[in-house]
Amino acid sequence: MLTLTDVTWLNICLVGVGVYVAKQVLIKKNPAPYPPGPAGWPLVGNVSDMPRIKPCLRFTEWGKKYGDITHVQVLGQHIIVLNSVKTAMEMLDSKSAIYSDRPVFPMGGELVGFKDALPFLPYGDRFRRYRKNLHRAIGSRAAVDEYRQIGEIETRRFLRRVLAKPNQLQEHVRHTTGAVILRISYGYEVKENSDPFVGLADRAMDGISQATTPGAFMVDILPLLAKVPAWFPGAGFQRIAREWRETLEEMVSAPHKLVKDQMAAGIAPISFTSNLLEDCAVSAEEDHIVKWSAFSLYGGGTDTTVSAIYSFFLAMTLFPDLQKKAQAEIDAVVGPDRLPSFADRDSLPYIEALVKEVLRWNVVSPTGFPHRATEDDDHDGYYIPKGSMVLPNIWFMLNDQRIYANPSQFNPERFLTNDGKEPEIDPRTICFGFGRRICPGLHLADASIWISTAMSLAVFDISKVVENGVEIIPEFEPSLGSISHPKPFKCSIKPRSATALGLIRQDANY
């Protein structure tokens, strides 16, 4: 990985791009000023200002200093950072016709190969065909209701795995989330232990998270570095990209081929992929769209859901009083003789509020995915030039004191009506993105997080671990990457009662 302090590389790059950057100097007067931002250097602009570690925090500093819209320029590329929900909605929602494109991602998109996945597609016909496929399967609550049984069965299995091996919580969360989406996407039922597709998908999604972190790779700032051979000193990113690309290609192709082979043999279960392959005369182009649509369904719904569910267990470890409130509601509404189901959702407002607070507290995608302006825009008196990269600082939006009281405090009750006070803004209107690029799997992710939360609280007490008489307090320290996960932590997970133990041990297909 290249660093911004590598003087040798910077000199080489400046020679190669000097002429290009010089052409970016304005030869005509802008119709309005750029949004405010840190002053840059001649030619290179704000190269040294772009953060590589936790960019959301640097963007937040800019927002507090310069306002809701910040502008920087890196080697001719205009970058606009949005630091308020209001501005993000005004631009990315209300003006979605010009803010729905994606920039080119040299590392993650081109070198690793994620350019064919839905989040990376430019706005156009192929993007709309992907979205149409996904909307039909999971684009509404009604559509997701078709998969309620899968979610409930797999979550019951999750409870049994946690009971058997509570110290492998993160692995169980990944396994269960993967099981739900692999079943929907490909009709594939995962193996109980060390499933190859689950492991493969985990590696692929870890690659995408690292490859798309803003500023993590110099090639994203200087795209011409993509032409540098892997053997050249400092070009280790080429080797990393090759490894991630091989994992990605296997993850995209292997389950797709499995479905096609099963269809040829007449034994394919009904799934997202089999339905699409049956519904059309499968040209090479259509096969490509089906294959990548299915991967986009998997990729868009697993990593974020894993992060949120793992965050829930961390929150319950840290805030036992809130856990007791949630369990009291389940006990009163559902009772001790059965597990909660989706049919109980409307009757469990505190559980609903708890899920919302988990999504706000650990922001799964801190800086969202960048949008690209396809036309010049004048917004709020500022000039946004065509081709600008627009980054919504979702982390700050969900920690903004203007809309969330005491945002550093974990408080589900902020989303309940108390003493006539209106609930605070639902984080699900923010954390899943904006405009026409909003996450198409948001309803499936929301359902998976809710059922895991409700069932786990019904049967488990989650608490801090005690070692040698000392209570271990986990730290809330999210990992780096475009997808944020809590770092691994220890917690104690035990059945609440003998009755709860019996519910956990029930046949998962019950």
Known binding positions: 439
Pairing of strands 465-467, 470-472: antiparallel
- Is the C-alpha dihedral spanning 384, 390, 393, 397 positive or negative? positive
Extract the runs of DSSP E, i.e. beta strands, from 307-380: 371-372, 377-379
Instruction: Using the structure block, give the residue that is written with the tokens 């802008």.
Output: 30
Rounded-to-integer distance, Cα 370 and Cα 2, Å: 22
Q: How far apart are CA 73 and CA 34, in angstroms?
A: 10
Sequence ranges of the binding site for heme: 439
- CB neighbours of 123 closer than 8 A, spacing ≥ 6? 100, 101, 102, 374, 436
Tokens 């699900």 correspond to 428
CA dist 50 and 61 (Å) reads 12
* 3-state class (DSSP) for residue 72: strand
Query: Count H helices, E strands: the chain?
Result: 19, 10
Helices (H), 380-486: 394-397, 428-431, 442-459
Number of CB atoms found within 10 A of residue 412's CB? 23
**Measured distance CA(102)–CA(79) in Å, rounded:** 13
Measured between alpha carbons, how far is 76 from 68 in angstroms, rounded to an integer? 22
**Contact criterion met (CB below 8 Å) for 453 and 424:** no
Compute how many other C-beta atoms are within 10 angstroms of the C-beta atom of residue 34.
18
| One-letter amino acid of 306 | V
3-state SS, residue 378: strand
